[in-house]
Amino acid sequence: MPAPSPGAPRTLSRDVARRFLVVRHLLAPPRQLPAEPESVLQVMDRIGSLQFDPLEIAGRNHDLVLLARVAGYRRQWTDRWLYEDRALYETYNKMLSIVPTAELPWYRLTWDRNHEEHSGGTFDEHAPLVEEMLTRIREGGPLLPRDVGPRGAIDWYWRPTNQVRAILEALAEAGIVGIARREGNLRVYDLVERLFPAELLASRVPEREQRSHRLLSRYRANGLLGSGGQSELWYGTGRNAAERADLRTELVSSGRLVPVVVDGFKGERFVVGGELGMLEQAIDEVATGASPGGIEPGVAFLAPLDPLCWDRDLLRRLFDFDYVWEVYVPEKKRRWGYYVLPILYGDRLVGRIEPRIERRAGVLRITGLWWEPGFDPMADPAFPAAFAHAIAAHRDFGGMARVALPRTVAHRPFVTMVRAALRT
């Protein structure tokens, strides 16, 4: 690859860009981190933010992100960091996300904005209920909304909602209460001063610095974002595109972001400044024909909201993979299925899988399996065993006793090989 002219962004081939992404996402190979709770924090150190989604078909989104990167991952490890040690906490960054608690001062903007909005609306309109909820928590400790008893519904965002649930959500959005723990996906609330150190809550960071931190967090999460893309990529960063551009320029000037150009893509994309060593690794591996990470490629099932999948246009153009998460698509209009995950093999997206954890039956059921055009799962003799390894990791994560694989004729030879690999 020729050296760039002074001041010009480095140009990356599509092969190098793909390799860089899987290397920096701790997916070369998958499940490379040790089977221990501390590995969750290693992932957080790398990508900075995990999107929280309560749907639990194959596992919650953040659990699936971690399962792809951490050997033997168990959901209680993240729950420990969230609700016991409190090294992590839930807040809004893009959408509801898990971020490091140490970064709380740089995410206060959401609390402050919501506090201002609710103080002139919800908190005034429902002042007696607000005071009742706060009194219950102050005197009785952590509160599960359903323990209060039924109350009338009020208009809340996109649908009528029980008053108690709505008011507690508003108090949490305003940073007055926080999530002490979850019972399943139900939130148990407590006062924030009981959940976080006083000095952390007292720390204040200028708003512009907070927005810059949030903008950088999006680049930390994905690894190769540009300056455009879907609007949800940039929620909560700059007030508008002009402010984001200004903040991005500052991040580049400080070296925290480094612009690059990817062959065939218009405009610059940006690499986190501290990850240039991984970019050099990707360049060397592609130049020498080495496999990702220098070892045999593995298989991972990517979460629908995995940071690697955030920029759907990047997936489409860089990986030749058109991914739509169809949970919100009417069933008759779905092309694939309800909760379908991309299949990563090495640095290629080679197919899609729809796993379901059926707890009553003790089964990990694969309800759908599709290969990308041109990919033959039998052509590479190492692929069936690598696929079986990913299946076994998912089975064990869910605590399932067995796996039910597709019985279709088209998949029969491949499934036979996978079953054999699962028995070894």
The string of pLDDT tens digits covering residues 191-228 is: 999 999 999 999 999 999 999 999 999 999 999 999 98
Q: Is the dihedral of CA 238, 241, 243, 246 positive or negative?
A: positive
Could you tell me which of 351, 414, 411, 358 has the C-alpha nearest to residue 388? 414
Q: What is the dihedral of CA 48, 265, 68, 375, to 10 degrees?
A: 180
Contact call for residues 205 and 105 (beta carbons, < 8 A): yes
CA atoms within 13 A on the CB side of 404: 14
Contact call for residues 341 and 353 (beta carbons, < 8 A): yes
366: left (phi over 0), alpha (psi -120 to 50) or beta: beta
Pairwise CA distance, residues 382 & 327, whole Å: 32
pTM greater than the 0.85 cutoff? yes
Pairwise CA distance, residues 28 & 291, whole Å: 9
Residue 359 CB neighbour total at 10 angstroms: 10
**What are the backbone dihedrals phi and psi of residue 182, each rounded to the nearest 5 degrees, phi first?**
-125, 140
Peptide bond into 342 cis (omega under 30): no
Contact call for residues 275 and 10 (beta carbons, < 8 A): no
Q: What is the mean pLDDT of residues 306-310?
A: 97
Q: What is the mean pLDDT of residues 2-21?
A: 83
Q: Is the dihedral of CA 257, 260, 262, 267 positive or negative?
A: positive
| Distance from chain centroid for Cα 298 | 20
What are 276-287's pLDDT values in tens digits? 999 999 999 999
With a pLDDT cut of 70, the percent of the chain lying above it is 98
Dig out the tokens for 114 from the structure: 């919501």
Q: Is the dihedral of CA 375, 28, 71, 54 positive or negative?
A: negative
Pairwise CA distance, residues 297 & 389, whole Å: 12
Question: 95 pairs with which residues across the strands?
Answer: 93
What are 385-423's pLDDT values in tens digits? 999 999 999 999 999 999 999 989 889 999 999 999 998
E strand segments, 209-281: 257-262, 269-272
On the question of pLDDT at 5 being above 70, the answer is: no
What are 119-143's pLDDT values in tens digits? 988 899 999 999 999 999 999 999 9
Pairwise CA distance, residues 252 & 352, whole Å: 36
On the question of pLDDT at 157 being above 90, the answer is: no
